[in-house]
């Protein structure tokens, strides 16, 4: 019976129509709360985190849960033109794994000096969106603590730009396509 966050993630992971699917882990309350969310924030518990950012859409779910786990606030990072009232900080991320360039936005008033920010997401491959969030948080005056992700596929050359990075599963450990 799987007991670690890594094992639970691998147990729930699947490939559907040629796409990686991590949604099934969200359906298992025990796996989501006790293993995945708790494990994502564990290395950051003593880092004086004051806010968790999450990028639309899976980052909203995981980031919100991680914020609750840490007892801090959640800061949504919207893609595109979705509703986000007030003054915003905007970045156009470098191309992602599908060669798409997303425009990311967060409310300027949601972060400021004295904040220490953690980004939580489901997967990191190019780091382009994480780097954009870091830049926006720092523009608001916040300090960057790092990133927690379910699946880590980031190349070694990109790691320094993102600071501390904690992944539950390395992409190379996922079941291959067709399995």
Q: Which domains, from first to last, does the chain contain?
A: 5-173 (3.40.50.2020)
Q: How far apart are CA 82 and CA 74, in angstroms?
A: 17
Q: How far apart are CA 148 and CA 145, in angstroms?
A: 10
State the CB neighbour count (10 A cutoff) for residue 38. 15
Would you say residue 3 has pLDDT above 80? Answer: no
Q: What is the pLDDT of residues 151-172, one digit of tens each?
A: 999 999 899 989 999 999 999 9
The pLDDT of 58-79, averaged and rounded, is: 96
Please give the model's pTM, rounded to 2 decimal places. Answer: 0.93
Alpha carbon of 78 to those of 50, 83, 171: distances in Å? Answer: 20, 8, 25
Q: How far apart are CA 26 and CA 79, in angstroms?
A: 21
pLDDT of residue 71: 98
Q: What is the pLDDT of residues 88-139, one digit of tens each?
A: 999 999 888 888 899 999 999 999 999 999 999 999 999 999 999 999 999 9
């Amino acid at each position: 019976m799987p007991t670690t966050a890594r094992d639970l993630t691998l147990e729930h992971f699947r490939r559907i129509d040629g796409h990686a699917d991590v949604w099934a882990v969200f359906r298992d309350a025990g796996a989501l709360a006790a293993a995945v969310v708790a494990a994502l924030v564990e290395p950051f518990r003593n880092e004086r985190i004051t806010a968790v950012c999450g990028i639309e859409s899976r980052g909203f779910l995981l980031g919100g849960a991680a914020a609750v786990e840490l007892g801090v606030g959640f800061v949504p990072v919207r893609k595109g033109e979705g509703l986000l009232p007030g003054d915003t900080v905007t970045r156009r991320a470098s191309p992602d794994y599908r060669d798409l360039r997303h425009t990311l936005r967060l409310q300027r008033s949601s972060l400021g000096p004295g904040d220490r920010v953690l980004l939580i997401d489901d997967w990191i491959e190019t780091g382009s969106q994480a780097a954009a969030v870091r830049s926006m948080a720092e523009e608001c005056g916040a300090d960057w603590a790092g990133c927690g992700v379910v699946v880590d596929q980031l190349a070694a050359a990109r790691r320094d730009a993102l600071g501390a990075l904690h992944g539950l599963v390395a992409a190379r450990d996922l079941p291959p396509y067709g399995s």
